Amino acid sequence: GQNIDQPTEMTATEGAIVQINCTYQTSGFNGLFWYQQHAGEAPTFLSYNVLDGLEEKGRFSSFLSRSKGYSYLLLKELQMKDSASYLCAVRDQSQKVTFGTGTKLQVIP
Residues forming the site for another protein (CB under 8 A): 31, 33, 35, 40-45, 48, 50, 87, 89, 91, 94-102
**78 vs 85 by CB, closer to another protein:** 85
Say how many C-beta atoms besides its own lie within 10 A of residue 29's C-beta. 17
Looking only at the bridges linking them, the beta strands covering 70-75 and 44-49 are unpaired
Residue 48 beta carbon to another protein: minimum distance, rounded to whole angstroms: 5
**17 vs 50 by CB, closer to another protein:** 50
Starting at the edge strand found earlier in the chain, the sheet holding 60-65 runs 3-5, 18-25, 70-75, 60-65, 53-57
**13 vs 101 by CB, closer to another protein:** 101
| Local structure of 82: helix, strand or coil | helix
Residue 89 beta carbon to another protein: minimum distance, rounded to whole angstroms: 8
